């Protein structure tokens, strides 16, 4: 097995802020739901500390404003603080001006709270695509150095299976795009970077996929999950469609033990540490 350092990332948003609920819970109703993101993110920090993981936390600006102590603790514990936009609006639902204001506001909030430069961005639900040709140039102009906003798979809410699988220099602006990882088998891309797939499928599937990317592509994996995925006690949202219910609530109780296994069996670091921004590559890092 190739000993390689992979990238661990967390999208910091509350259980009711996810895109799958956006038609059921409007933003002006968010305040009526009990927030659990702060406690759940502290549980992620504990998990990482136990397993000697450093990670990148893509944080919503509105979550950061409500939990400034959490922002400072993420940075104090050696993790990377990065931007997930202000309030989880998909880029395809914004015009260029709205996107520009969103990414600049979020960067400023995170930097003011942490005192650290924020250079990474992840779009809500991997929503940078052909319909948003201005996005990378706007990110670059706003001072971001990389984006991790593509998951090259088939999915009804996100994903473009024809997008590049490995990091690339973006066509507009001075920016590196680092897609969430897929494994290539029988001419198709298969999810290897987490999301619901990690929680819903058996652990051996993710382990096999990560090993395949590390050994065949000789590339690090970019993996992601959400703090609400390790919270089986979260309140259940009423009137959700069956498909959403299955995706959001299945195997929540299995997620924490699975993550313990994953963080134990592989070596993980923050995303910015694995990117060579000078030439837009994603470098395998030797384990120190």
Site residues (vs Zn ion, CB under 5 A):
11, 13, 124
> Across-strand partners of 120?
146
Q: Please report how close the Cβ of residue 216 comes to Zn ion at its closest, in angstroms.
A: 29
Residue 51 vs 84, nearer CB to Zn ion: 84
Q: Please report how close the Cβ of residue 192 comes to Zn ion at its closest, in angstroms.
A: 19
Residue 5 vs 110, nearer CB to Zn ion: 110
CA 109 to chain centroid? 19
Residue 226 vs 258, nearer CB to Zn ion: 226
Distance CA 107, CA 120 (A): 9
DSSP H or E stretch at residue 244: helix 242-249
Residue 234 vs 267, nearer CB to Zn ion: 234
The closest residue (CB) to Zn ion is 11
DSSP H or E stretch at residue 45: helix 37-50
Q: Please report how close the Cβ of residue 25 comes to Zn ion at its closest, in angstroms.
A: 14
In a 13 Å sphere around the CA of 167, the CA atoms on its Cβ side amount to 27
Residue 85 vs 220, nearer CB to Zn ion: 85
Q: Please report how close the Cβ of residue 212 comes to Zn ion at its closest, in angstroms.
A: 26
Q: Please report how close the Cβ of residue 253 comes to Zn ion at its closest, in angstroms.
A: 22
Q: Please report how close the Cβ of residue 11 comes to Zn ion at its closest, in angstroms.
A: 4
Count Cβ atoms below 10 Å from residue 241 Cβ, excluding itself: 11
CB 12 within 8 A of CB 57: yes
Residue 65 vs 174, nearer CB to Zn ion: 65
Distance CA 98, CA 39 (A): 31
Count Cβ atoms below 10 Å from residue 272 Cβ, excluding itself: 16
């Amino acid at each position: 097995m190739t000993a390689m350092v992979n990238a661990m990332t967390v999208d910091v948003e509350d259980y009711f802020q996810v895109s799958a609920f956006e038609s059921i819970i409007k933003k002006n109703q968010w305040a009526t739901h009990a927030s659990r993101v702060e406690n759940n993110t502290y549980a992620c920090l504990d998990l990482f500390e136990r397993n000697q993981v450093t990670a990148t936390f893509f944080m919503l600006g509105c979550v950061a404003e409500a939990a400034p102590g959490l922002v400072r603790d993420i940075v104090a514990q050696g993790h990377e603080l990065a931007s997930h936009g202000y309030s989880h609006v998909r880029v395809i639902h914004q015009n260029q001006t709205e996107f520009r204001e969103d990414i600049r506001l979020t960067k400023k909030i995170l930097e003011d709270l942490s005192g650290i430069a924020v250079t990474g961005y992840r779009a809500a639900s991997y929503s940078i695509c052909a319909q948003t040709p201005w996005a990378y140039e706007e990110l670059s102009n706003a001072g971001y150095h990389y984006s991790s906003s593509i998951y090259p798979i088939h999915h009804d809410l996100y994903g473009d299976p024809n997008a590049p699988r490995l990091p690339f220099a973006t066509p507009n602006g001075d920016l590196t795009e680092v897609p969430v990882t897929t494994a290539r088998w029988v001419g198709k891309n298969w999810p290897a970077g987490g999301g619901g797939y990690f929680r819903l499928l058996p652990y051996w599937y993710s382990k096999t996929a990560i090993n395949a990317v590390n050994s065949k592509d000789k590339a690090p994996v970019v993996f992601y999950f959400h703090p609400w995925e390790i919270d089986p006690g979260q309140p259940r949202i009423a009137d959700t469609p069956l498909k959403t219910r299955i995706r959001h609530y299945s195997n929540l109780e299995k997620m924490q033990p699975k993550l313990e296994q994953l963080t134990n069996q592989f070596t993980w670091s923050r995303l910015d540490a694995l990117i060579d921004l000078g030439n837009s590559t994603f470098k395998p890092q030797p384990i120190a």
